[in-house]
Amino acid sequence: MKKSTFAVSVALVFAFAANAQQKDDVQLNQYGVRVEVDPLVTEAQDGILVHRSKTSDYKLWLDCRVQADAAAFFGEPSWADPIGNGTSIRRARFAVKTQITKDFYGEVDMDMANGVFELKDAIIRYTGLPHFDFTVGNFKEFFSIQRNTTSRYLQFMERPMVTQALAPSRHIGINAKYYNKWLWASSGIFFQTIDNLETRTLVEDANKDLGADEGMSFTEKLVLMPGWDKLDWGMHIAGAFSYRQPKTDADTYGTNRFSTRNSNSINRKKYLDTGDIPNVTKDLLYTFELAGYWKGFRGELVYMADNNYQKDIDGSNKLWGWYVQGGYLLFGGRQRYDNAGAKFTRVKRGQKWGDVELCARYEYFNMNCPNLMAGAAEAYCLGINYYVNNHFKIMVNYQYNNNDRYANGKGNKFYCGLDASGNPTKDYTQVAAAKGKGGVDYHMLAVRFELDF
């Protein structure tokens, strides 16, 4: 065989092999569309399972959390409704998060605590403009620093009463955020909350039976961050405002209800509860926040209030409260703040074996006004947090709760004092001053085991 003929034969063989290899690399998706192939690397990034591309911005990771709680309650008056001790899976979260390209982020987050499914975050986010991001979906409104700080990094097992009752949480909406060094600003339009089947059924029934529009909310927040470029210290000075129309996820359309537990979720009694407020036209909600950190110390001072307006009623129902709290890492750890999110984030432990944080909080919340008289309460809480590593934490909380006589639950549900004859009564107007001040006061001791992975 001539050399030229041999060379041509070899070239054809290699060409055929290359063509075969090219065909092998061609892939179709489940809809028969040809797709690009981007090999991924699987790794654990600080204990989080991540699939990422070496050649593009694509990344997909899991974000899960388990919080197992136990609590005991004691010291309530002998005439009060008994409070049951118990245990709970406070959160069992499973989230899938992805960076599709440099500019597009997505997330689906769900909770299955105690066997009850709830949708949490369902997010589409665009970050293609410098210093801006735009988010659409179901997510937390940017209003309260305590609400926006993830439950992974809270100093206490539960958020303050005023935050639980007034601060908006997740709603369907669209939000624009600006962040540049010391300045952070957010503006959003929000609609219904979507968390479980019961809530969604109320929304759909209101649409079907009443033709009701979903109420809109406009939420704005501005944050100044002195010390934004410092490692050892920083401040958070913020104000937020929200104009809110009644939502169709209420039990009765055109109503609002404000309520809160004043210990934790194991005690199911909501002593502070307005019940359904009828003929609501709007709510004007606002807050002022002062927070900061210095090395191992972190603190917050917050005031929050809501002016609730009803048809044919002069003035408004004002619900308000405040809290002050702080914590210190004892063994050289440092508190950390997320400037891009305007919230606190994971602490830096001071020792290889971990770190211990001592915390204290005082809070007061008042839902008494001429048209409501739904109760007021204060609480004193002490906490110890043991950060074993970046993923495992043990929390212990002691709390003393002091409710007034008006804190008797929705529709006079709980005993709130003794009447003139010395008998327990659920009617605060019948509580006799000579028989004590009224109101259920009690103590709580609770523990949480938490794992983030």
d(CA 453, CA 109): 14
* pLDDT greater than 50 at residue 18: no
Average pLDDT of 12-16?
A: 46
Indicate the pLDDT class of residue 36, thresholds 50, 70 and 90.
confident
Indicate the pLDDT class of residue 4, thresholds 50, 70 and 90.
low
* pLDDT greater than 80 at residue 24: no
Indicate the pLDDT class of residue 22, thresholds 50, 70 and 90.
very low
| Counts of helices then strands in the chain (DSSP H, E) | 4, 26
List Cα–Cα distances, 341 to 88, 183, 225, 325, in angstroms: 30, 11, 11, 20
Average pLDDT of 402-423?
A: 95
Task: Enumerate the β-bridge partners of residue 327.
Answer: 298, 359
d(CA 45, CA 186): 30
Check residue 9 and give its pLDDT. 52
Q: 110 and 123 in contact (C-beta within 8 Å)?
A: no
Q: Does 79 or 26 have the greater pLDDT score?
A: 79
Check residue 5 and give its pLDDT. 55
Q: 283 and 219 in contact (C-beta within 8 Å)?
A: no
Range of lowest pLDDT (128-142, 185-199, 385-399): 185-199
Q: 270 and 451 in contact (C-beta within 8 Å)?
A: no
Indicate the pLDDT class of residue 202, thresholds 50, 70 and 90.
confident
At 268 the three-state DSSP class reads coil
Check residue 414 and give its pLDDT. 97
Average pLDDT of 220-228?
A: 98
d(CA 112, CA 95): 11
Q: Are strands 355-366 and 417-418 parallel, antiparallel or unpaired?
A: unpaired
* pLDDT greater than 50 at residue 367: yes
Average pLDDT of 369-388?
A: 97
Check residue 13 and give its pLDDT. 43
* pLDDT greater than 70 at residue 386: yes
What does 132-172 look like in DSSP terms, one character per residue? EEEEEEEEE-S--HHHHS-GGG-SSSS--HHHHHHS--EEE
* pLDDT greater than 50 at residue 12: no
CB-CB neighbours of 206 under 10 Å: 21
Q: What is the 3-state secondary structure (H, E, C) of 335-390?
A: CCEECCCCEECCCECCECCEEEEEEEEEEEEECCCCCCCCCEEEEEEEEEEEECCC
Helix (H) or strand (E) holding 451: strand 441-452
* pLDDT greater than 70 at residue 1: no
Check residue 55 and give its pLDDT. 87
At 206 the three-state DSSP class reads helix
Q: Does 3 or 133 have the greater pLDDT score?
A: 133
At 7 the three-state DSSP class reads helix
Q: 356 and 396 in contact (C-beta within 8 Å)?
A: no
Which residue type occupies 89?
I
CB-CB neighbours of 122 under 10 Å: 17
At 115 the three-state DSSP class reads helix
Task: Enumerate the β-bridge partners of residue 221.
Answer: 186, 240
* pLDDT greater than 70 at residue 32: yes
Tens digit of each residue's pLDDT (9 = 90 or more) over 261-320: 998 999 999 999 999 999 999 999 999 999 999 999 999 999 999 999 999 888 999 999
Check residue 390 and give its pLDDT. 94
Task: Enumerate the β-bridge partners of residue 377.
Answer: 365, 403
* pLDDT greater than 80 at residue 20: no
0.75 exceeded by pTM: yes
At 51 the three-state DSSP class reads strand
List Cα–Cα distances, 39 to 24, 42, 267, 299, 338, in angstroms: 15, 10, 50, 45, 32
**How much is the mean pLDDT over the chain?**
92
Question: What values do phi and psi take at 127, rounded to 5?
Answer: -125, 30
d(CA 346, CA 335): 8
